[in-house]
Chains A and B, each alone.
Chain A
């Protein structure tokens, strides 16, 4: 190892941690009362926006490339089934926090969790 190696490792580590640490410390947890939504895009176009509820919902996406079945439950969303060749999308598990994503590269499906839809956050806390 030379000095430049150590320098390279340190710079990249610091840059990565600068993004990771706020994420770990941040109070960005999902759950009840957060009114999170998941934006589902296919081929870069918005397919559907769903509210992440406690109740179970099933979303089916059928395109020429194949199908993806998403399930919403317990304030999170997960890829339940897909006929893509690599099944990588099934490995993401259930995502519950804003900015987390599920990607199915072969089917060009992208699921991303976002805050309250429309930016009208106050509505989210009305009892």
Chain B
């Protein structure tokens, strides 16, 4: 497949943006893994989901398949670095469900929902997806006991992530690397 130099420059820019976003998302995941949420009465293993900032921002600038690559990269790299391979399947399930929900809302629900609403929906999809995957593996619905609490915390972190994305998109739009991806 022959590409003009302009096309290949765009492709290169996309690759660079995905790489930078993946690096930032992994760092955010590592930082939040150090926060002892279980000590605050939450379900152990619960995360703040700050890596979602990068994924939602990516959905805004790039194409769906680019954001999809970012989700896979972030999940695999985090599992490598934190050694949480045993739960890779669960985080992948949650991340992918969250990605699909956010992608559809950004493409088709922008008129109704703001960034904050989309971020909340993504966070809720992530929590629900993980618990559903776990309940399928255990063949038991008792793990859904934690769903109501996770829904409430998902709203709170979703609002925080949403505000971060709003400021990040505004700031990145001023950088020349992102110029041609504005829409």
Question: Which residues of A come within 8 Å of B, CB atoms?
Answer: 1-2, 4-5, 8-9, 12-13, 15-17, 19-20, 23, 41, 44, 84-86, 88-92, 99-101, 103, 105-106, 108, 110, 112
Contact = CB atoms under 8 A, between A and B. Distances in A.
A121 B139 CA distance: 27
A14 B43 CA distance: 20
A84 B86 contact: yes
Contacts of A23: 148
A13 B142 contact: no
A91 B44 contact: yes
Highest count of chain A CB atoms <10 Å: which of B117, B121, B155: B117
Taking residues whose C-beta sits less than 8 angstroms from the other chain, chain B's interface range is 20 to 34
Interface string B126-151: 00000000100111101101111101
A16 B90 CA distance: 22
Contacts of A99: 142, 145
Given A9-B120, A12-B124, A16-B152, 8 more contacts: A1-B116, A8-B113, A12-B151, A19-B148, A41-B138, A44-B140, A86-B87, A101-B142
Nearest to A6: B117
Interface string B27-52: 00000000000100000110000000
Contact of A91 (B38, B84, B124): B38
B149 A20 contact: yes
B40 to A, nearest CB: 11
Interface of B: 38, 44-45, 83-87, 90, 109, 112-114, 116-117, 120-121, 124, 134, 137-140, 142-143, 145-149, 151-152, 154-155
A8 to B, nearest CB: 5
Contacts of B121: 8
Nearest to A20: B148
A110 B38 contact: no
